[in-house]
Amino acid sequence: MSLLLFGVFIITLLIGIPVAFSVMLAAISVLLAGDVSLGMVAQRMFESINSFPLIAVPFFILAGDLLAQGAISKYLVEFAESFLGIIKGGLSIVSVVVAMFFAAISGSGAATTAAVGATLIPQLKERGYDEDTSAALIAAAGTIGVVIPPSVPMVLYAVAAGQGVTLNALFTNGFGPGMLMGAILIAIALVQAYKNNYPKGNGITLKNVVVTFVKAVPGLIMPAIILGGIFSGKFTASEAAAVAVVYAMLVSFFVYRDMTLEKLFKIMAGSAKTSAVIMIIIACSGPFGWVLAYYSIPGTIASSILSISTNKYILMFMIALVIIIAGVFMETSSAIIILTPVLLPLVSGLGIDLVHFGIMFVVGIAIGMITPPVAINLFVASGITGKPIELIAKAVIPYLVGLLFVFLMIVYLPLIFPGLIIG
């Protein structure tokens, strides 16, 4: 049954059928071969989306879209530049810092890339920065959008993993890797700034810092409200997503006053489409997951891989390689929903903390956002600049290498120092 399941899945993908429907067709083929009632398909599709944590997905997507198309990102950039711009190539650092901060608001890599890119790429070009490199840096920084909480992929992993993983634990452990990713991107950006002799920005003045800070305050306190509420126990991660939407709308309508009802309708329609795609993927993966469990396929795969080697460091490298390859060819949500039930028995057998695996999984899949052919962040950056994606893909290589190095650190350091995982 394993060969039939994955064979049909791969064949349907190769002939161009969308991932969600490829997954469902693979499951149906196994059910037909095993003479199992197809009524199971509808039942499992409903059960897979009947999950309270999934409420967070459409709300975080909407909050990210509201912020990406509003004035918040603009004021965050101005504030960051007021004290970082003095450094040679300081605007590159601003790009990463703002992306990290926006990540703590949106939970989306594409939204982070769009918001930061639309605001900063014109400024970078105007000041003599290489446009391809600038677009590549912002696309790479956009990967942090799904690592620093709140994170839509973390929500999906928590749902797919089941009771063994809490969303709060994933969110708590997401900060460190996100900061590490930002630090490596800043280091590479600084090297390129000195290599290309990028200019310094304006000097630091107390007046400018204060003025830009006051304008940025509504955006700055948003992560505090969302994450503070979650970790203090005032509301759950799912409720926090709704709070994020309400706050973003209040700020957009009544503080910055850059939102109209017409614009809001368009944003909500776009967010609904994105959410619908994710929900369809989750629903279609329900029968797939049931087939995996019914025929004990993950256990069989785990036993086969464990027979190759008993060294957990080698096996973790193999798992990490699978995640990276999946990120290259699959959309983030699809990869997490499909691969989690397959890989979880294997990592459990190795004694790997499931929270550690979740963080590693999300970071590895996030890197796929800048690796063609999927590379959603590169497409967003290409759309903003008008540059061919091939040029941006070439310019992103140094940042890709840096992120892969960070990924390996995230894979192995918690194995050596288990105390790094909180909760």
Kindly report, residue by residue over 13-44, the tens digit of the pLDDT: 888 888 788 888 988 988 888 877 888 888 88
Task: Answer whether residue 370 shows pLDDT above 70.
Answer: yes
* Tokens linked to 380: 């967003």
Give pLDDT tens digits for 42-67: 888 888 888 777 888 888 888 878 87
Mean pLDDT, residues 350-366 = 92
Question: How confident is residue 164, by pLDDT bands cut at 50, 70 and 90?
Answer: confident
Higher pLDDT, 332 or 411: 411
Distance CA 359, CA 344 (A): 13
Mean pLDDT, residues 240-247 = 85
Range of the domain at 146: 2-420
- Please say whether the beta carbons of 85 and 72 come within 8 A: no
* Tokens linked to 332: 């983030």
- Please say whether the beta carbons of 355 and 128 come within 8 A: no
pTM of the model: 0.84
* Distances 125 to 91, 110, 120, 134 between C-alpha atoms, Å: 11, 21, 9, 8
pLDDT value of position 405: 96
Going by the DSSP 8-state scheme, the letter that residue 88 receives in this structure is T
Average pLDDT, the chain: 85
**Cβ count near 423 (within 10 Å):** 11
pLDDT value of position 185: 95
**Count of the separate structural domains present in the chain:** 1
Question: How confident is residue 265, by pLDDT bands cut at 50, 70 and 90?
Answer: very high
Distance CA 143, CA 106 (A): 12
Taking each continuous run of H as one helix and of E as one strand, the counts in the chain are 20, 0
